[in-house]
Amino acid sequence: MSVERAIEPVRIEIQHLVRSFVTGSPSPPKRLSDPDDPGLFEPDSAIWRVHADVSMFIGGLRALLLQTLHEPTMTGVAEHSDYRHEPLGRLQRTANFLGVTTYGSRTAAMETIEAVRHIHERVQGTLADGTPYAANDPQLLGWVHATEVDSFLRAFQRYATRRLDATQADEYVAEMAVVAALMGVVNPPTDRVSLRATLHSYRRELHVTPHTREAVRFLLHPPFPLLARPTYNVIASAAVSLLPGYARRMLWLPVLPGVEPLMVRPVATALMRTLGWALAPAPA
């Protein structure tokens, strides 16, 4: 028996654990494409490539950490979600949304987008100072979108086996803008230059609130089983190290000089390679 065959049961077990964690089911995802109903993006698109990579784990957590600094976004999550008692719920819903809008038929993608917008209609309220907020507000949607695009792209460029070149990276931002526009974002960024400008335009709106502190503590120390914590801690360390300096300072998450290149990056790279191997198709 070959070594590859001998360790296949280990690979399958890891695969089931990861799928259960992300999607809620150990089974492979159902076929999303439809030959008679092409999706929003082609199979050779940058968005297909980025969203298929396990670096999305790191990018997703980075995005959530960054989003906590925007009070309307964080207040909506705190007041209209049950993340404290259902820690994987938002992750699994986000994974489903990304999967369907990236790989599914156009019909399925539009139905999913409409369903999310319908849910967002109920997510509204007032901030501590009395300012109203609403999840479908284009300004709020724009922040969530920009942080996700920036985080997914940065994580991919840092940890994927093959990075995107400059043209492909801009293509990814432009492809994500297609979904953003359908969600209600006004003038979403379409390349890396406009993405940086968009993120910078929100800087004056960012600050730390009690909801921020509570969410960051939860994101970095969720109530996961002991078996999952070492893996999650590596992902969390990588996500924190990818945050912009101003965000780490505001969130009190300093990264000591030398720690990221000498410790965090090698360990996270090894973990991404292991997860990539586990989620790859079975050997012939």
- Range among 1-15, 68-82, 170-184 with highest mean pLDDT value: 170-184
114 contact partners, CB below 8 Å, separation of at least 6: none
Q: Is the pLDDT of residue 258 over 90?
A: no
pLDDT at 144 exceeding the cut of 60: yes
CA dist 53 and 55 (Å) reads: 5
221 half-sphere exposure, CB direction, 13 A CA radius: 3
Q: Which residue has the higher pLDDT, 209 or 223?
A: 209
Range name among 90-94, 249-253, 261-265 with the lowest pLDDT average: 90-94
pLDDT of residue 18: 67
| 283 pLDDT more than 80 | no
What does the pLDDT average to over 215-234? 89
Give me the pLDDT at residue 32, please.
Answer: 64
Strand partners, 126: 132
Greater pLDDT, 25 or 226: 226
SS (H, E, C) the chain: CCHHHHCHHHHHHHHHHHHHHHHCCCCCCCCCCCCCCCCCCCCCCHHHHHHCCCCHHHHHHHHHHHHCCEHHHHHHHHHHCCCCCCCCHHHHHHHHHHHHHHHCCHHHHHHHHHHHHHHHCCCEEECCCCCEEECCCHHHHHHHHHHHHHHHHHHHHHHCCCCCCHHHHHHHHHHHHHHHHHHCCCCCCCCHHHHHHHHHHCHHHECCCHHHHHHHHHHHCCCCCHHHHHHHHHHHHHHHHHCCHHHHHHCCCCCCCCHHHHHHHHHHHHHHHHHHHHHCCCCC
Residue pLDDT, tens place only, 88-143: 677 778 888 999 999 999 999 999 999 999 999 999 999 999 999 999 999 999 99
Q: Is the pLDDT of residue 6 over 70?
A: no
pLDDT at 84: 73
Closest CA to 238 of 151, 174, 136, 131: 151
The tokens 């990588």 sit on which residue? 238
**Residue 95, pLDDT score:** 85
Q: What mean pLDDT is predicted for residues 41-64? A: 95
d(CA 176, CA 102): 9
pLDDT score of 150 more than 90 = yes
**Who has greater pLDDT, 36 or 196?**
196
Higher pLDDT, 14 or 56: 56
Q: Which two tokens stand for residue 284?
A: 């012939």
Residue 204: pLDDT band by 50, 70, 90 thresholds? very high
Average the pLDDT over 264-280 and give the result. Answer: 90
Q: Which residue has the higher pLDDT, 160 or 1?
A: 160
The confidence score (pLDDT) of residue 284 equals 44
Has residue 26 got a pLDDT over 70? no
* Residue 25 confidence (pLDDT): 60
Q: Is the pLDDT of residue 20 over 70?
A: no
Span 194-218, mean pLDDT? 96
Share of the chain above pLDDT 90, in %: 69
Q: Is the pLDDT of residue 268 over 90?
A: yes
Mean pLDDT for all residues in the chain: 89
